[in-house]
Structure 1
């Protein structure tokens, strides 16, 4: 099988994962204040990012070729880790911009599922990338699409009047 079918299959599975997270999260009621739920949702992704930074620091410390901050060799395990970290930070920025309002409109359960799902799928993205770059498709899609779906769901509720802003 070529690279594109593997990536496409991962993307399709990632979309299904995202739909499942949205469905499951919409059925979870959390009697907690929104800031606490948002902090709980953000923490797992933060821990995964911390592990990625730590792994890169460990690679630099034990490799004389990169200990002084030299660029990583293209395609090297360290370069893959750097790419994974960069993409994870990009997605965490999206999460920080979208999840708070999504939690307000859709409920804390949705945001908590977004956070837990994000951490799991970022690790799968990281592992998949190291095994074979096309295998990263699922991890990427399964961490990105839920945020996209949450944003679209919020917009849908606002446009259809299913949620009214308190003005």
Structure 2
């Protein structure tokens, strides 16, 4: 029972840390872009960059799963052993697919709702998406409860983006 409490505390700490680090990274990135004028040309190009970054995180996972299956087995397409490198990589791919879909929908909605916001915010969020997915993957490999930071650092900014877009559309 004590172990479960410790794991829950670790997950909550990861979530809280993700909120703080995500907010700081995204705010600093947007501020940098505004101060330097380092935009991606058009809102559509900025959105394309952000969605490409999310796609990169997904493709990296698929490539790792293929390599793990080829070099570490089972190459016949059978299910991996629970907790194996392939099993954890496939879990990463599944979660990253879900996260990529949510982020992509939020990003496209942002582009349609507010091009200026999309141009400033989405490239930064795209870079953060890749960093957060890497943190999820590494955390999972080290100790599964450590994936909480990467999960929250991907999921909660996407929720915030959806909330901002919906608030603008409903205002």
Name the TM-score class by shorter chain. 0.7 to 0.9
Which one of the candidate residues 59, 62, 65 is aligned to 1:53?
62
Aligned match of 1:164: none
The equivalent of 2:43 in structure 1 is 34
- Structure scoring higher RCO (CA < 8 A, sep ≥ 6) equals 1
SS in 1 for 2:82: coil
TM-score by structure 1 length? 0.86
State the shift of 1:35 in Å: 1.9
Describe the SS at the equivalent of 2:83: coil
Root mean square deviation of aligned Cα: 1.8
The 2-side partners of 1:120 and 1:154 are apart by 23
Contact 1:129-1:135 within 8 A present in 2 as well: yes
Matching of residue 115 in structure 1 with residue 126 in structure 2: yes
Runs of 4 or more consecutive aligned structure 1 residues displaced over 4 Å after TM superposition: none
Q: State whether residues 21 and 146 of structure 1, in contact with CA within 8 Å, keep that contact through their aligned partners in structure 2.
A: no
Which of the two has greater helix per residue?
2
Question: Structure 1 residues 79-88 or 54-63, which shifts more?
Answer: 54-63
Name the residue aligned to 1:127. Answer: 138
Q: C-alpha offsets along residues 45-65 of structure 1, whole Å, 9 cap, x if unaligned? A: 22222221111111111234x
User: Which structure 1 residue ranges, 5 or more long, are not aligned?
Assistant: 162-167
The 3 A distance-change label for structure 1 pair 9 and 113 is: same
CA distance in 2, matches of 1:77, 1:147: 28
Give the one of 9, 23, 33 matched to 1:5.
Answer: 9
Residue 165 of structure 1 aligns with which residue?
A: none
Q: Which moved more, 1:134-143 or 1:18-27?
A: 18-27
1:122–1:67 distance in 2 versus 1, CA, 3 Å? same
Change (3 A) 1:62 1:35: same
Native 8 Å contact 1:124 1:139 kept in 2: yes
Moved more, 39-48 or 129-138: 39-48
